Amino acid sequence: MGRSHVEYLSELGARVVIADVLDADGAELASELRGQNRDVVFVHLDVTSETNWARVVAHAQSLWGGLDGLVNNAGVTGTWGGPEVEDLSAWNATIAVNQTGSYLGIRHVAPLMRSAGGGAIVNVSSILGFVGDGDYFAYSASKGALRTMTRAAALKYANDAVRVNAICPGMVRTPMNDEEADADGYVSHTPLKRMAEPIEISRAVAFLLSDDASYITGSDLVIDGGYLAR
């Protein structure tokens, strides 16, 4: 999904900082898009590291004077099997990326937006932040927490014209979900009977970052093919 977001936002004319722990993939994508005359750079980021966040934000500020938007997209599914299988180290690793990583992003980017007079933050949650999954215990917990964090941050920064929203995708066709053991089960319970394509999520991200969403903050945008309607 992150690749799709970068491609779509840069196509719309955004200047994009790709921040990822996968150096080769991020650098290759940035190089490819720069070859199309798009304003895209890559920087290494471990979202669980406050030092990394501080460095990345400072780099973006030095390049372009600030940041107008942040997409907290990094995520891991954790260990399958529930609380008796997912030991404390696996729990901590999942919470560190999915929840703490987004917290650190908000912590370091929001001050730049506040000083610039506004901005928009999009947190990538999940339908499992609503309904849970007993076998993806830490993942469900982290995505539910991210929805609450979104509301809290929206209230905190509303007076600074910084909007904070969450998107909550259902099953999306990505390499991670291609390995999902129960992918067919999710699709069978989805009224539209298919996975989402990454671009369908990216369009929603772009909308929430844009001025078209200027009166939307503290909200969840569910993109799930009707899954939660059941």
Structure confidence at residue 217 (pLDDT): 98
Residues 164-172 have a mean pLDDT of 96
77 within 8 A of 136, measured Cβ to Cβ:
yes
Residue 32 has pLDDT above 90, yes or no: yes
Structure confidence at residue 179 (pLDDT): 62
For residue 72, what are the β-bridge partners?
123
CA–CA dist 35, 153 (Å, integer):
37
Report the candidate in 15, 17, 14, 24 with the shortest Cα–Cα distance to residue 2: 17
Residues 155-184 have a mean pLDDT of 86
76 within 8 A of 42, measured Cβ to Cβ:
no
Two tokens at 215? 């009166």
Query: Is position 136 annotated as part of the catalytic site?
Result: no
Residues 198-204 have a mean pLDDT of 97
Structure confidence at residue 221 (pLDDT): 98
Residues 8-28 have a mean pLDDT of 95
Structure confidence at residue 132 (pLDDT): 84
CA–CA dist 161, 46 (Å, integer):
28
Residue of 139, 157, 186, 227 marked catalytic:
139
Average pLDDT of every residue of the chain: 94
For residue 126, what are the β-bridge partners?
none
Instruction: Indicate the CATH number for domain 68-229.
Output: 3.40.50.720
Helix 137-157 and helix 101-116: axis angle, to 10°?
20
Q: Where are any strands of DSSP class E within the chain?
A: 16-20, 40-44, 69-72, 119-124, 162-169, 220-223
* Threshold 0.85, pTM exceeds: yes
Residues 2-16 have a mean pLDDT of 97
Confidence of residue 181 (pLDDT cuts 50, 70, 90): low
Structure confidence at residue 41 (pLDDT): 97
Residues 85-95 have a mean pLDDT of 94
Residue 178 has pLDDT above 80, yes or no: no
Two tokens at 41? 């750079």
Residues 104-112 have a mean pLDDT of 97
Q: What percent of the chain has pLDDT over 70?
A: 97
